[in-house]
């Protein structure tokens, strides 16, 4: 029977072409939008993980409560020993120390007098001993001029700041602020490069230095504001993170000690948990929307097809075929059309998703005034679910649309068949 129905679908294009086109378009849109939404949220999560949150982050309990203020006096101390314990307890993760703090960047003139000043977002990472940190933050590719710091006393500043105040490579800038102990901070750096991340919040006044320079300037020997943990395979795993966080906090974190270290999961920081939930929810809502929309369209298509095939159904009933059997053949036919349309839509959708994954769409002009950390180029992400997710709206919509339209078969009255056939 399936072979017979398939021949009918292929030979009678007037009854199958439009439904196949409708299903293909719906599946195509489902695939592309699912891949793109997944890619956007994945890029946002990865960017925040690489720059600020890690897959997990360790801070003191007191620092975590006031992390937006970056209180240096509540920073972690004795980080070398803590990192050794972490590497022993969790060998499948990489642990890195960073220091985040704020200050005022002073640009002197040729006489040493202040020529320009501006607020600075300071970030200290391990430039000298951990090349993965440079790669993780995409520093090499984001450099506009110069090079990364190679010796103590060198720093990278944002290209926007350098252009605004006329800072050239090799010139000195002075960072003003306060140390961990509350005393005044005056530290001079030589500008070895300028950088543009493509994110407004980082490009306005960032300065990057090696963590050893920051520890010396801030009186923070063997200390950092945070320790970030990353899985070696680069993938964020909720179940593993839950296990790591629970075991660490039960072993090291003490409720009565505000300076004891406490580990936080990625989704517990910066509202990223809401974004993860939103990503899953939006994909589900999108599939539901396309199922309902296509069902309505295909229902109408089925009704039109049913009117055109009204005489055919009458002849089949007059020859003694049961209404139930005719209805079943309609459903089987709908399933075959749904499969054909879903396959075509999936192939086209995966092709477009691959293009968006490799090329992406540049929204940097639209996001330049947004303070939240967002990627300038939005890309799709191809994930395993895409290979079957389109069949959900494709089959459900096609079958439900034809099932509703096929109910007209049961309304046919045998007593009127011969009168219709005579006409």
Q: Which of 182, 217, 206, 228 is nearest to 74 (CA)?
A: 182
pTM given for the model = 0.71
Helix axes 13-48, 2-11, angle to 10 degrees: 100
Tokens of 165: 């105040």
The pLDDT assigned to 351 comes to: 93
Closest-CA residue to 392 (of 39, 34, 40): 34
Counting residues of the chain whose pLDDT is more than 90, the rounded percentage is 30
| pLDDT 10s digits, 200-236 | 667 778 899 999 999 999 999 999 999 999 998 888 8
- For residues 141 and 81, the model is more confident at 81
pLDDT in tens, 158-168: 998 888 888 89
Cα 8 to its chain centre, rounded Å, is 44
pLDDT for the residue numbered 123? 93
First-to-last CA distance in the chain? 31
pLDDT in tens, 104-114: 999 888 777 88
Q: Tokens representing 411?
A: 């309304």
> What is the pLDDT of the chain when averaged over all its residues?
82
Residue with tokens 């005489």, as numbered in its chain:
311
Higher pLDDT, 34 or 90: 90
Tell me the average pLDDT across 405-413. Answer: 66
- Considering only residues 270 and 268, tell me which one the structure prediction assigns the higher pLDDT: 268
User: Please, which residues bridge with residue 98 across strands?
Assistant: 226
Q: For residues 225 and 220, what is the distance between their CA atoms, to the nearest angstrom?
A: 9
CA distances from 207 to 161, 183, 220, 257 (A): 10, 21, 18, 33
b/e burial code for range 388-404 (CB count within 10 A of at least 16 → b): ebbbbbbbbbbbbbbbb
Confidence of residue 371 (pLDDT cuts 50, 70, 90): very low
- For residues 331 and 403, the answer to whether their CB atoms sit within 8 Å is yes
Instruction: State yes or no: pLDDT of 353 exceeds 60.
Output: yes
The yes-or-no verdict on residue 345 having pLDDT over 70 is yes
The answer to which of 9-18, 318-327, 396-405 has the lowest mean pLDDT is 9-18
Determine the 3-state secondary structure of 165 from DSSP: helix
């Amino acid at each position: 029977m399936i072979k017979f129905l398939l021949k009918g679908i292929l030979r009678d294009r007037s009854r199958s072409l439009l439904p196949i086109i409708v299903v293909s378009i719906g599946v195509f849109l489902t695939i592309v939008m699912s891949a793109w939404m997944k890619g956007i949220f994945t890029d946002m999560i990865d960017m925040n993980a690489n720059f600020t949150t890690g897959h997990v982050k360790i801070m003191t309990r007191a620092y975590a409560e006031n992390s937006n203020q970056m209180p240096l006096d509540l920073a972690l101390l004795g980080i070398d020993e803590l990192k050794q314990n972490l590497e022993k307890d969790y060998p499948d993760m990489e642990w890195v120390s960073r220091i985040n703090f704020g200050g005022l960047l002073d640009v002197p003139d040729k006489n040493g007098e202040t020529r320009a000043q501006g607020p600075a977002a300071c970030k200290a990472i391990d430039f000298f001993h951990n090349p993965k940190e440079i790669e993780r933050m995409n520093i090499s590719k984001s450099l506009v001029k110069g090079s990364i710091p190679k010796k103590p006393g060198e720093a990278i500043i944002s290209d926007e700041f350098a252009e605004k105040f006329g800072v050239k490579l090799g010139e000195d800038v002075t960072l003003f602020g306060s140390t961990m102990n509350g005393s005044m901070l005056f530290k001079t750096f030589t500008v070895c490069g300028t950088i543009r991340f493509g994110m407004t919040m980082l490009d306005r006044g960032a300065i990057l230095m090696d963590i050893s320079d920051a520890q010396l300037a801030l009186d923070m020997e063997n200390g950092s504001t945070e320790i970030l943990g990353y899985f070696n395979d680069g993938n964020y795993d909720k179940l593993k993170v839950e296990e790591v966080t629970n075991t660490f906090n039960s072993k090291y974190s003490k409720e009565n000690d505000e300076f004891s270290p406490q580990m936080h999961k990625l989704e517990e920081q910066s509202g990223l948990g809401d974004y993860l939930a939103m990503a899953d929810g939006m994909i589900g809502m999108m599939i539901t929307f396309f199922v309902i929309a296509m069902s309505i369209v295909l229902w109408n298509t089925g009704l039109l097809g049913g009117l055109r095939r009204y005489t055919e159904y009458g002849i089949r009933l007059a020859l003694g075929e049961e209404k139930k059997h005719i209805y079943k053949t309609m459903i089987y036919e709908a399933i075959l059309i749904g499969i054909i349309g879903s396959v075509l839509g999936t192939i086209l959708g995966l092709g477009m998703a691959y293009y968006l994954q490799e090329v992406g769409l540049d929204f940097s002009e639209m996001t330049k005034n947004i303070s939240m950390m967002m990627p300038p180029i939005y890309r799709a992400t191809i994930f395993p679910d895409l290979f079957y997710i389109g069949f959900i709206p494709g089959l459900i919509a096609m079958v439900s649309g034809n099932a509703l339209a096929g109910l007209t078969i049961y309304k046919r009255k045998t007593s009127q068949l011969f009168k219709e056939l005579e006409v």
